[in-house]
Each structure stands twice: as C-alpha cells, then as structure tokens.
Structure 1
Amino acid sequence: MSTSTSPLLVRLRGSGAFARAIPLASLLFVGALACSSASDGSTDNTGGSGGASSSVGTSGSVSTTSGAGTTGTGGSGGQAPTGATTGSGATGSGATGSGGQDTVASSSSTGAPAVGSGGGGGAPDPGFQPCPATGPCKILPLGDSITFGLGFDGGYRVELFRLARQDGHEITFTGTQQMNGPAMVDGAPFPRNHEGISGETIQQIANRVPTPALREMPHIVLLHAGTNDMYRDPNGADTRLGALIDELIAEAPDALIVVSNIIPFPGGANAVNTYNAKIPGLVEERAKAGAHVVFVDQFTGFPTSELGDGVHPNQAGYARMAGAWYGAISDYLR
C-alpha cells in the first residue's frame, strides 16, 4: 500500500483551538478508569496536571491558562475552550511552560461549549485535502464506549454533526456499529454509524483495523483509545497506541488521522497522566515522517462535573469533546 509523502506539521488542537500550533504542547493527565460491566463493558477516564490550568466558574464560563510557547492571536467569536492549549477568540498558545494568557469564553445555555466563527491561524496545508470536493466527508469515530456514546445517546457525534452543519459542511459517519444516536439532529437525518465498542482496549480496537473498521474507507479518523488499558494493563499502552496509529496510517494513507489523549477519569490519574504525556510525541514523530496525523487535547480543562458516571461524559461533556474534534478538522471540511 502506498504511503503518504505530503508532510504535515503537528497541530496541537483542543476544543476551541482553531489556530495552528507548532509541536507539541503540555499534556495533562487522565486517570485510569475502569468499568467493564455487562451492560457496557467500558472504562473511561480522568486526572490532570501539566502545562495548562482550567477552572469552571459558577456562571458556566471556562477559563484556561495556556503555557507559554508559539503564540497566535485569534479573532472574535471563538469557541469556548475546553482547556485547550491553543485558544480561539483570544491569544492562546502551544508549548509547555508557565505564563501565557488567559482565554475566557462563556458556555452556551445548554452547557455545551459555545462555538463561533472567530479564530486565527491560517488555512490547512494546501497540498493535503482528505475530504472530497463534492459529497459528504466520511468520518470514522474509532474507540470504546466513549466513542459509542454511553451516557448520552449519540455521544460527541451529535454535537459534531450539528457544528459541521451550522458551518455549511457536509459530513457523515462510517463504521460497522449502527446503534446509539438520535434519528434526527436539527431536522436532518443523523448518521448513526460509528466504530465505538464498549470495553475494548487499544489492542482490541487495533484488531478491527483494517477489517471491519475500514471497510468503508473514511476521509477522517477520530481516535480516542486507551481508557480500558488504564484499568486492565497500563504498561506499554503508548506502544500499543503507536502501533495502532501506524496501522491506520498504512491502511488509510489518504485520510487525516486525528489522535486525542483520553478524557479525565478520577479513578486512575497516575496511569493516565503517564499515558497521556506520551501521546503528543507519538503523533509528532509520525507527522514529521510525513503522515497526515494531528493531535487533539481532549483532557485539559475537562471538568469532572461533565462526567456523568465518573467515567463517561454527560451531554455537556460530549459537546465539549465535539468542540475539540471540530477545532481539529474544521479547516479540512468543505
């Protein structure tokens, strides 16, 4: 299978990060979770320390202090940060360290991150466009029960679909799983396909690549994996994730592979902290080698109040995740 030759800089993304950041920023940790039950078999995350801090006020606004580093100035109306190290709608930046500026944006009345049209950072690489000029851009949500949407029907896919449509983008979801999700979103049929299976570890997810996960070749892959490893066997989880990323790159060389750290889980913070800290480097290494892969920070600023059961997000938490994914892929959508 041919490999991609178009180099792609690592872009550090978080919810509210529409600006490009250069390599890699601070990572916070997520606790190793647990939970593999007969009903969902899933385990999923939290924790947090690192180069950025975040707090949620009583008014529902989120304040994020990003570490010092490469700085870009956002425009107006940016996305409410979910603890991203790059800000939109204010001055935000990328690398680890102290200092930087605070980015403050209000949440919407529903508790979901508010998304606007502002932000800076330039256009995507002109030599790489994963989405077709006409027709929907096919997105593969790949992972475990958090990708499935345990705790809120449709998970982050609902708000991601809504955000894309609001900006005039046509997307659909691929995957062999067709349960979980509403029939309609904002008057449009909601594509319920995904590849999120409760309780699966990184290796179990990898066992589905290329078949059946890539049976319908996606244009974009959203990978959130490792929570169940934190509970069962955190040792070597980063190595297993790296192998999974390599498999996705080899089997879907023309797709954009979007890799996130895992969201907070208060029950296993140390293991998640160790795991999450290694993920940006995994992504950067492969991007420098020419792979179309970017990193998204799904951990920073994610409050435990948005974990409905201490493991899986509630509706606000899934909307927060959607904002982070959308910030990473919006430049590539048509």
Structure 2
Amino acid sequence: MSGPSREGSVMPNPLKALCAALITTLLAVSPAVADQSTVEAAADPVRVMPLGDSITQGGSIGGYRLDLGTKLRAAGRNVDFVGSLADGPGSMPDRNHEGHPGWTIAQIDANVVNWLRTYTPRTILLHIGTNDMYGSDPAGAPRRLSALVDKITNQAPSAEVFVATIIPIRFADATVRNFNAAIVPLLRAKAAAGKRVHVVDMYPAVPISDLPDGIHPNAAGYSKMATVWYNALASVPGSIGDPQQPGGTCTATSKIVSTWSGGFQAEVTVANPTASALNGWTVRFTLPGGHAIGQIWGGTASGSVTVTNVAYNGTVDPGATATFGFLASGSGAPAVGAATCASP
C-alpha cells in the first residue's frame, strides 16, 4: 500500500512542473510569434501583373517594367510583379510579367482567367491592342477590349485594373487614335458603374521618335511609359500598398476627386498613426509633367510640390486625420505622385 501511495503522490509533481514550463514558454513565446506573424503579414508585397504584348514584355531591356520597378522601390513600395513569364536584364530585381509578343486582345482574353487564378494580382497594368491595329478587324478591337476588361473584373472584382490607351504606331496612327478614342468612354462607363477600372492615357507619353521600328519604344520611351504608370498607380490608394516611411510621424494618401480636359481636382488625407498629437505637418508629392497647382485649400503650397498645414488643421490628434485639396491644370493624365508626410 505504501508503494502505490508514494507513486501516487510523486507522479503529479513532474506533470505540474511540465505544465508550468509549457505555460511559461507559451506566455514568453506567444507575443513574439504574434509580432512575427503581424510583421510578416504587413510585409507581404502587393502583387502587380504587367499584362499585354511585346510592349509589356519589353525585350532584353525589360521594357517599362525596369524603370517602374525602380520608381516603386525608391518610393518605399513593397510590390511584386507577377506572371508566367520572366524577361529583362539579369540585374533586374523583378522580371515576372504576362507580356506575350505578337499577341492580340483575343489571345489575352483566352488565357487571362487562368493567370488571374494562378497569380491573384491586386493590381493589373493592361496595355493591349497594338497587334489588333494591323490585323483583320481593327474596328472590332474596342469591343474585344471591353469584353476582356469585363472578364478581368468579373474574375477579380477587387483588383485595381489600369487600362492604357496604346502608344502610337508610325504606320497606323489614325487607326490607333480611333481605337483609343473608342475605348476611353467604354472604360469610364465601367468605372462609373463601380468597377475598379482606371484609364491611363499612355498614347501622348511616347513620341514616334522614341519608336525605332515604329512600334516598340527604345529605353527613353519605356522610361516615359514607366512614369505614366507610376503616376497612375500612386493616384489610387492601395494599388501599390502604402509607402514605407521608417521613422515617419504621419502618412499622406491622395485621391483624384474629379477630372476634366486640362485639369483635375485632388484631395490628400493626412493621418496620425502615433500616440501623440501632431503639431504641424508637411506633405510632399509630385505632379505629372506640365501640371501645376492653381488653387489649394486646407494647406499652403510651395515648390514642386510641398504643402504645409494652415492654422486650423495643423493639430492632428492620435488616430485622427486632416485633409487638404487642390485644383491642378496641365496636359496629360491626371495623377498625384506618392505622397510623404512629416511632422516637426
């Protein structure tokens, strides 16, 4: 009797010790694990799919993707180009895309659902139609593009779909102009219906002098395309994530409120994510070449472009926001470059 009694009294002690150790370990490790998962989730890159034909593929120089990637990284954007193809110089950090040389709108349409399912892009950059311009039915290309965009938005309704007017073709300029003129109202109607479709006016960005073969841009032309894409992306919050601002005390997010021929209205929201009130703020951003601010409210503008608070909105409590707006005029696509914010 005494043996079993002693065993019965001894057994719980190691179990209790083990349980206590496990609890201590969990209490010590769980916050770190939680923090790690939070950091990893926050660090997930925004998946961007460059989609189109050889102008998206860009040959051995990587097309617009090279300079666009550089601009995004310089702005602190955590972006991952996605797609089944990889082209460009070996030194190019991110070479993936869905740019298929020689392909028409119909060919992209036949494959796009599988690509969207496989790569689940958050943002899509679509420049397609060039090969349709010298095909058998250029007049039907706007209808085909409209159907393609519908297929994309139906398959990926939460994705931001940026659709470019196509760049010039030296020997088919009138056909290109007709195509571009036809697709813009179709695309704007989709946006007005609530679809996440954004028109990017790429045609005026690349002069024919930057098309050595009359179709494909040289490095200078692709760099101009990259600037137009970047400005368009930066104008749509979330399309390329939020800029990483180590040590920053505030954030700034811009949006285009309305557009018209030769100008646009924009609004910028300043947010305070810290635990202390902001006592003044300064926001910096860029505008497309040739654009200038003509009128501003809720801030004072200087340079190209720096905006500081006015008296009534300089103090921003923790978790609160302040806004300013402006009117800009100029040629080209309306856009507000990535905005940064600092507080004294």
Relative to the length of structure 1, the TM-score reads 0.57
Any conservation in 2 of the 1:175–1:214 contact (CA below 8 Å)?
no
The reply to whether residue 243 of structure 1 matches residue 147 of structure 2 is yes
Any conservation in 1 of the 2:163–2:198 contact (CA below 8 Å)?
yes
The reply to whether residue 137 of structure 1 matches residue 55 of structure 2 is no
1:59-74 aligned within 5 A: none
Does the residue aligned with 2:119 lie in a helix, a strand or coil? coil
Any conservation in 2 of the 1:176–1:213 contact (CA below 8 Å)?
no
Greater relative contact order: 1 or 2 (C-alpha under 8 angstroms, separation 6 or more)?
Answer: 1
Post-superposition Cα deviations, 1:251-291, rounded to whole Å, max 9, x if no partner, equal 11111000001001111112111101012111111011110
Q: 1:219 aligns with which of 109, 122, 133?
A: 122
The reply to whether residue 202 of structure 1 matches residue 105 of structure 2 is yes
Deviation at 1:182, TM superposition (A): 2.2
**Gap runs ≥5 in structure 2:** 1-40, 243-344
The reply to whether residue 177 of structure 1 matches residue 90 of structure 2 is no
Deviation at 1:181, TM superposition (A): 1.2
Any conservation in 2 of the 1:202–1:225 contact (CA below 8 Å)?
yes
Task: Tell me how large the CA RMSD over aligned residues is.
Answer: 1.4
Q: Identity percentage over the alignment?
A: 43
Post-superposition Cα deviations, 1:5-56, rounded to whole Å, max 9, x if no partner, equal xxxxxxxxxxxxxxxxxxxxxxxxxxxxxxxxxxxxxxxxxxxxxxxxxxxx
Structure 1 runs (4+) greater than 3 angstroms displaced: none
Q: What is the CA–CA distance in structure 2 between the aligned matches of 1:301 and 1:330, rounded to whole Å?
A: 17
Question: Who wins on radius of gyration, i.e. which is larger?
Answer: 2
Q: 1:166 aligns with which of 34, 49, 74?
A: 74
Post-superposition Cα deviations, 1:170-189, rounded to whole Å, max 9, x if no partner, equal 111111112x212334xxxx
Any conservation in 2 of the 1:220–1:256 contact (CA below 8 Å)?
yes
Q: What is the CA–CA distance in structure 1 between the aligned matches of 2:42 and 2:203, rounded to whole Å?
A: 33
Q: What is the CA–CA distance in structure 1 between the aligned matches of 2:218 and 2:206, rounded to whole Å?
A: 12
Deviation at 1:201, TM superposition (A): 0.6
Equivalent position of 2:199 in the other structure: 295
Any conservation in 2 of the 1:259–1:296 contact (CA below 8 Å)?
yes
Q: 1:149 aligns with which of 42, 53, 58?
A: 58
**Gap runs ≥5 in structure 1:** 1-131
Post-superposition Cα deviations, 1:194-243, rounded to whole Å, max 9, x if no partner, equal 10111111000111111135411001000000010001020210000000
Deviation at 1:301, TM superposition (A): 4.3
Equivalent position of 1:281 in the other structure: 185
Any conservation in 1 of the 2:116–2:156 contact (CA below 8 Å)?
no
Post-superposition Cα deviations, 1:105-152, rounded to whole Å, max 9, x if no partner, equal xxxxxxxxxxxxxxxxxxxxxxxxxxx8532111101100001103x5
Any conservation in 1 of the 2:205–2:224 contact (CA below 8 Å)?
no
Relative to the length of structure 2, the TM-score reads 0.55
Assess, with a 3 A threshold, how the Cα gap between structure 1 residues 299 and 252 changes in structure 2: closer, same or farther. Answer: same
Any conservation in 1 of the 2:205–2:225 contact (CA below 8 Å)?
no
Any conservation in 2 of the 1:156–1:321 contact (CA below 8 Å)?
yes
Q: What is the CA–CA distance in structure 2 between the aligned matches of 1:184 and 1:137, rounded to whole Å?
A: 21
State the aligned residue count: 197
Q: Looking at secondary structure, tell me which structure has more strand per residue.
A: 2
Q: 1:263 aligns with which of 151, 167, 170?
A: 167
